[in-house]
Amino acid sequence: MAISENEIAQVRSATDIVALISETVALKRTGQRWTGLCPFHGEKTPSFSVNAEEGRYYCFGCRASGDQITWVRETQHLDFMDALRQLADRAGIELHEDANAGPERKERQEAMVAMDRAVAWYHERLLSSPDARPARDYLRSRGISGDVARQFHLGWAPDEWDGLAKSLNLNEKVLSATGLGFVNKRDRRQDALRARVIFPIFDPSGKAIAVGGRILPTSGNQEPRSDGRVEPKYKNSPETPIYSKRRTLYALNFAKDDIIKSGEIIVCEGYTDVIAFFTAGLPRAVATCGTALGEDHFRIMRNFAKRIVLAYDADSAGQSAAASVYQWERQHEVDVAVAKLPKGTDPAELAQRDPAALRLAIEQAVPFLRFRLDRVLEGANLTTAEGRARAAEAAMDVLAEHPSELVRDQYIQDLVGRLGLDQNMLRARVRDLAKSPREHGVREIPNEPAPRRPAKSPMPRPGLEALRLIVHGPVAMKERFIAPYFLNEVQRDIFEALSTNQRANDLIDEFERRGEEEEALVLSELVVEELDRSFDVTAVVAQLIRAAVRAERKNLNRDMLEGRISPELAGAMDRDVEERVQLLETDQGGAAENDLRKWLLERASLTSS
């Protein structure tokens, strides 16, 4: 498929790379660049760097690097064209592809537009339609005011067969691409959701991608249908080309800012719980959408916050697959805590009755393992020896699931205190249990390997300094340097490329095309780095010259031994050069620098001819 270089460049320059990456990674401004935790490898201190001007990112840890298109490709596992199309859509640029190209893209685009219109239509119905009164009453009874309904774009799907499909004139293709409806057996369009309160689901950038619908507690559609089935309380969009449940967190678009600010993300079970947290003054809650909390959710969350608080109702919190939670904690370097809500309450109820208690529960959330152990012990009868033994057995099963012996050990000491049992015995039992992992469903998942890139090879520092000056310094800076100053081949390649006055970005592309990966990576790194304003170009030049001269004197010696130059000439030249190198220290008017520069250029032309 042919797309002109011109259009590709247009898409790149229309895409603010900082805004793009900020959708999934918390970036902080430090000087000229933006830094954050690398999404491509696990890390605790940020080594991921973005240069807004050049439109490039680079990780000093795993060397992940690229531009806007690479970013979309690598984070969403798309091919070049799909990534380009997505960015073009975002920027409102029309790509001139072959007429029959990209039907999926067109379908996606149509689906996004239809979803956006549907959300607005549902919302309008909720706010102003007389038939939405019961919905408004229900929301108000749950503490959701008109303002909050507006903030979350809540809606109302009327009790009609095809209200939405007809009003927006959605065709069969769009209905199925969005999951908003279908064509029934009588060949008529039918809405997927009717007589339900609508909770629109957005992607992190705030684009509507799906809807969830809740029936009203009093509505007639809780009655068994003609086929005997009862309508489920919640009904969500199915998986569609624009919506993947396991990669979506409800309200992340609204919660993002506070999550980054607080370093904490609250995960609850439903839309109304999320909204309750917002109204209780904790606008950093999200929910999974009709699926259990999974690996992909962790991958998304850990880019925003390191502390994850599960705020499920008291009964379901302990049920999360413990073994997986511990693995994800380790793998993504996050801490999972559990908020202890009073028995029989969910966040939505608590927020309405006692918002302070809800905030306190989040503040006092305990580590996941602590929570599970407490539950075992709370349910046990510790007044008899048999009761204590049973509690110990159950507690040890829970403990053994944790992969770290260090962590287990801390809890064992606590158990010893609470159960009055022998420490060594407990420790030995837990160790045995932990060793037979299959029983407990613990499976070692190795840390996800970072995308494979060549390891950094050591680079002479003055050469890198010089290239950094050339990339970031004033244009005239380039003049001070010549290719023979760069003894390292990769550095010389980069210098020569930069001498063509092309944009660094284009040069990186060019290196990649030629398979010169190291050059591409080193230049990527340089581009996102910052120039130390106190740089001393003369000192850098002098260092380079000294090293270059040292190397060249060896060549001179070799030439003499091989008879290409007379010993007299070689000797004179050597003394002369040596003298000038000494002068570099106190180079008046740059005469020594200039002479040595000439000499190195001459020598270079000799060896190349």
Check if the beta carbon of residue 94 is closer than 8 Å to that of residue 18: no
Q: How far is the CB of 215 from Zn ion (least distance, A)?
A: 46
Closer to Zn ion by Cβ: residue 39 or 200:
39
Binding mask 505-544 for Zn ion (x = CB under 5 A): ----------------------------------------
Closer to Zn ion by Cβ: residue 15 or 303:
303
Check if the beta carbon of residue 463 is closer than 8 Å to that of residue 471: no
Distance (Å, whole) CA 281 – CA 63 = 40
**Token output for 396:** 């040890």
Residues 420-449 that bind Zn ion (CB under 5 A): none
Distance (Å, whole) CA 328 – CA 212 = 27
Q: How far is the CB of 79 from Zn ion (least distance, A)?
A: 22
First-to-last alpha carbon distance for the chain, in angstroms, is: 44
Q: How far is the CB of 62 from Zn ion (least distance, A)?
A: 3
Q: Are strands 307-310 and 28-30 parallel, antiparallel or unpaired?
A: unpaired
Closer to Zn ion by Cβ: residue 528 or 544:
528
Closer to Zn ion by Cβ: residue 61 or 355:
61
Stretch that binds Zn ion, among 3-11, 31-39, 73-81, 132-140 (CB under 5 A): 31-39
Q: How far is the CB of 40 from Zn ion (least distance, A)?
A: 4
Under the criterion CB under 5 A, does residue 332 sit at the interface with Zn ion? Answer: no
Under the criterion CB under 5 A, does residue 40 sit at the interface with Zn ion? Answer: yes
Check if the beta carbon of residue 523 is closer than 8 Å to that of residue 507: yes
Stretch that binds Zn ion, among 37-45, 166-174, 196-204, 256-264 (CB under 5 A): 37-45
Q: How far is the CB of 60 from Zn ion (least distance, A)?
A: 8
Closer to Zn ion by Cβ: residue 38 or 252:
38
Under the criterion CB under 5 A, does residue 211 sit at the interface with Zn ion? Answer: no
Sign of the Cα torsion 210, 296, 36, 506 reads negative
Q: For residue 288, what is the enclosing H or E element?
A: strand 285-288
Closer to Zn ion by Cβ: residue 61 or 367:
61
Q: How far is the CB of 514 from Zn ion (least distance, A)?
A: 24
Q: How far is the CB of 456 from Zn ion (least distance, A)?
A: 12
| 153 phi/psi in degrees, rounded to 5 | 55, 40
**Token output for 309:** 């608080």
Q: How far is the CB of 33 from Zn ion (least distance, A)?
A: 15
Q: What is the DSSP string of 478-501?
A: GGG--GGG--SHHHHHHHHHHTTT
Closer to Zn ion by Cβ: residue 240 or 524:
524
Closer to Zn ion by Cβ: residue 49 or 237:
49
Q: How far is the CB of 22 from Zn ion (least distance, A)?
A: 17
Mapped onto helix, strand or coil, the DSSP state of residue 97 is coil
**Token output for 113:** 């537009």
Under the criterion CB under 5 A, does residue 27 sit at the interface with Zn ion? Answer: no
Closest CA to 5 of 96, 71, 89: 96
Q: How far is the CB of 63 from Zn ion (least distance, A)?
A: 7
Closer to Zn ion by Cβ: residue 103 or 446:
446
Distance (Å, whole) CA 7 – CA 71 = 18
**Token output for 580:** 């000038």
Distance (Å, whole) CA 134 – CA 190 = 23
Q: How far is the CB of 64 from Zn ion (least distance, A)?
A: 5
Closest CA to 33 of 65, 55, 63: 55
Distance (Å, whole) CA 472 – CA 52 = 13
**Cβ neighbours of residue 539 closer than 8 Å, sequence gap 6 or more:** none
Distance (Å, whole) CA 344 – CA 361 = 14
Applying CB under 5 A, the site for Zn ion has a residue count of 7
Binding mask 42-81 for Zn ion (x = CB under 5 A): -----------------x-xx-x-----------------
Closer to Zn ion by Cβ: residue 43 or 296:
43
Distances (CA, A) of 153 to 122, 145, 199, 490: 9, 12, 7, 54
Closer to Zn ion by Cβ: residue 38 or 526:
38
**Token output for 156:** 């109302």
Q: How far is the CB of 86 from Zn ion (least distance, A)?
A: 23
Q: Which of 41, 284, 372, 429 contacts Zn ion by CB under 5 A?
A: 41
Under the criterion CB under 5 A, does residue 177 sit at the interface with Zn ion? Answer: no
Q: What is the DSSP letter of 455?
A: P
CB atoms within 10 A of CB 410: 11
Q: How far is the CB of 11 from Zn ion (least distance, A)?
A: 25
Distance (Å, whole) CA 485 – CA 543 = 9
Residue appearing with tokens 């760097």: 49
Stretch that binds Zn ion, among 32-40, 142-150, 165-173, 287-295 (CB under 5 A): 32-40
Stretch that binds Zn ion, among 30-38, 200-208, 308-316, 485-493 (CB under 5 A): 30-38
Q: Which of 38, 464, 482, 521 contacts Zn ion by CB under 5 A?
A: 38
Distances (CA, A) of 237 to 152, 245, 327, 393, 475: 17, 9, 30, 44, 55
Closer to Zn ion by Cβ: residue 42 or 163:
42
Closer to Zn ion by Cβ: residue 447 or 555:
447
Q: How far is the CB of 38 from Zn ion (least distance, A)?
A: 3
Closer to Zn ion by Cβ: residue 43 or 89:
43
Closest CA to 4 of 96, 85, 86, 66: 96
Q: Which residues contribute to the site for Zn ion (CB under 5 A)?
A: 38, 40-41, 59, 61-62, 64
